[in-house]
Structure 1
Amino acid sequence: MRFVHLFFSLISLFMAFALFFYFIFPFGEIRFGAERNPEFSVGNISTEMQFYKNMRFSNPEISYKIENNCSLEKKNKMKRAFDYMTNLTILNFYPVNGNEEITVSCEEKTKPSGNGFFVAGEGGPTKIIAGDNFYVIFKGEILLLRDSKCENPNIEIHELLHVLGFNHSQNKNNIMYPVSDCSQTIGNEIPEKLNELYSFPSYPDLKIGNVSADILGRYLNINLSVENIGLKDSQSERIIIYADGEKIKETKLDGIKIGEQLGVQITNIFVMKIKIENLKIIVETDSNELSLENNQITLTRLPD
């Protein structure tokens, strides 16, 4: 009798252990596939007018420095060009003594080589980062070698527009025509395009991509990337994960520079529910962004 009692006790203990083991470590694997979310797009505002689509500086407040190797006349004409574009558009150019975004020089030996390059002519961007919506200009240089007999600073405006990303025009009357003439004007199209490009605020824009997720037993593993396709470096934010509407994990996301991408691995997230149908991943932010549409993505359980 005691043997029978012991036998059933062992059976009960084994079943309890088996149930516990299955609860903690259930067999099988569940995979998830990402649904495609709508993405924020500004389109190609600058059409064929620029070297690349939607070229702009991060901020409409743009600093410059005119080197001392420029004559007083060239300095004055360059300042007039900056003032002219400031009055004509929503941009604001201001002088600084160092760490400038636009450098103006007047000596041949200052022409960049190696790490620096002119996109065209004697002026242009020298550091650009490509994003989904904008080609962000960080540095530009203007080299003034020719003296101009024009009363207006046409050559200086021409080179400044190159720095702002604008290509040559086929219109002989336009200031961006390759051969300079004192009668050329800027027209309306370039200022309108500049105002439209810089109408977007200087915010970051975080985008979730390259997501994969699976559940092994009761443990959820997620791999994803977060890219900053905006106009400003992002601050430290949060990644929050929901399973069928219930929050199951929150983790820190480090700040991301413009144009950079950060890979994120979140592993061994214990889940109480085995048959999860949907996962939702959100980058939650307290900062302004160009768009919040691409800050989240939904993953759906794939068929067995």
Structure 2
Amino acid sequence: MRVLDFFILLVLFIFLAVGMYFLWLNFPYEATEFERYVANISSDLPFESSQFHPNMRYPDKKISYFLSSNCSRKKQNDFLDAVELLERETILSFYVSDSPDIWVRCSNIAPKPSEAGHFVAGEGGPKVIINASKFAVIIVGEIALYRPETCDTPQVAAHELLHALGFDHNGNPESIMFEVTNCEQQIDRYIIDEIERLYIIPSAADLIIEDVKANKTGRYLNFEAVIVNYGLKGVNKSSLDLITEGSVIKTFDTEGLDIGSKKSLKISNLKIPRKTDKVTLVIQTEEPEIDGSNNIAEISVVEG
């Protein structure tokens, strides 16, 4: 056999071997399922709540307000006294803003009371709320003051400010949150403690991989992941790393996530090592988070 013939046969054999190898790599296999991942999300919601909804709070413990110019000097002072009272008794602080968390307006015309012999001195409460699972995040609150304060202390304004913070009426006549106001009522200790519990949590995002479904065919992975922001602030940028055997296979841009928003990422035919039996997903952001331990999801091939 001539040298040229041998060389041609050798080249053909190499091409055949390489072709068989790539055919083996890409041979259509039956789909192999991964175990589904569902996040174990603990909201720590109290069994009973003194609020309209458990875990109601504003995004930050520094809360802004706008005091309408239609409020008389007396009503303005009543509200400012209530703010001073809350700042003295709790970890909250308040400041003036043209784009506020709480709008305060005044009127001399009050709505009709539900019971004869009573009058409505004011109204207050959350107006816009986002259900972020762990928190009911108050985006906008409102207060309306109808009658000037008759007590030496800001009973009505403090009552309505606590409503705007999410606190409901209670059945204790000595409480400032009793439905009928008098000058002797005080802020309950449980309200101060509840504000402490809620607002000691930092104002930050909380990105969570909520759900992952995946399968692979040969060396190609198909998966769908749901990412949620259950925190108190949005993020402008985020990314999802897919890791196998300790190496990042691909990073996906998951962009920004507002408070309470979800994003679904669906990927098909992503090439991974053939022997992969475990996949790790990690959601990342450079912005602060309440809890980084829930940013990771691991899924393994279903056995047997």
Name the TM tier (shorter chain): 0.7 to 0.9
- Report the alpha carbon displacement of residue 146 of structure 1 after superposing the two structures with TM: 2.5
User: Aligned AA for 1:72?
Assistant: R
SS of structure 2 residue aligned to 1:294 = coil
* Residue 109 of structure 1, CA deviation: 8.4
Tell me what 2:214 maps to. Answer: 213
Residues 101/54 of structure 1: CA separation in 2 closer, same or farther (3 Å cut): same
Distance 1:56 1:28 in 2: 50
Task: Tell me if the contact between 1:38 and 1:293 (Cα under 8 Å) persists in the aligned partners.
Answer: no
**Letter of the aligned partner of 2:226 in structure 1?**
S
The share of aligned pairs that are identical, in percent, is 33
The worse-fitting range, judged by mean Cα deviation, of 132-141 and 217-226 is 217-226
Do residues 102 (structure 1) and 122 (structure 2) align? Answer: no
Contact 1:169/1:178 (CA < 8 Å) preserved in 2?
A: yes
Residue correspondence of structure 1 range 110-149 to structure 2 within 5 A: 122-149=123-150
The AA in structure 1 aligned to 2:302 is L
> 1:110 and 1:19 mapped to 2: Cα distance?
83
**Letter of the 2:265 counterpart:** V
Distance 2:252 2:11 in 1: 44
- SS of equivalent residue, structure 1 residue 241: strand
Residues 31 and 213, structure 1, Cα contact 8 Å, conserved in 2: yes
Q: Which moved more, 1:164-173 or 1:99-108?
A: 99-108
Corresponding position of 1:267: 268
Please, which runs of 5 or more residues in structure 2 have no aligned partner? 112-121
**Paired residues, what number?**
290
Superposed, which structure 2 residues align to 1:115-264 within 5 Å?
122-264=123-265
Q: 1:28 aligns with which of 16, 27, 30?
A: 30
In the TM superposition, what are the counterparts of 1:53-92 in structure 2 within 5 Å?
Answer: 53-92=54-93
> What's the counterpart of residue 114 of structure 1?
none
Matched residue SS, 1:33: coil
Q: Secondary structure of the equivalent of 1:160?
A: helix
Shift of 1:66: 1.1
For the pair 1:284 / 2:270, whether they are aligned, the reply is: no
Cα displacement (A) at 1:38: 5.2
| Structural RMSD (CA) | 2.7
> Which digits, 9 at most, give the CA deviation of each residue in 1:35-64, with x for residues without a partner?
55554x451259320011110000011111
Q: Distance in 1 between matches of 2:110 and 2:293?
A: 45
1:19 CA displacement: 3.3
Q: Is the 8 A contact 2:56 2:165 kept in 1?
A: yes
d(CA) in 2 for partners of 1:283 and 1:241? 9
- Whether contact under 8 Å (1:35, 1:300) holds in the other structure is no
Structure 1 168/135 Cα, relative in aligned 2: closer, same or farther at 3 Å? same
Task: Tell me if structure 2 keeps the 8 A contact 1:104–1:141.
Answer: yes
Q: 1:71 to 1:202 in 2, by over 3 A?
A: same
In 1, the alpha carbon distance for the partners of 2:235 and 2:109 equals 38
Rate the CA distance shift 1:127–1:109 in 2: closer, same or farther, 3 A: farther
Gaps of 5+ in 1: 112-120
Q: Is the partner of 1:80 in helix, strand or coil?
A: helix
Distance 1:255 1:29 in 2: 33
Q: State TM-score, norm by structure 2.
A: 0.86
Shift of 1:185: 0.9
The structure-2 alpha-carbon separation of the partners of 1:149 and 1:109, relative to structure 1 and needing over 3 Å to count, comes to closer
Distance across 2 between alignment mates of 1:250 and 1:109: 59
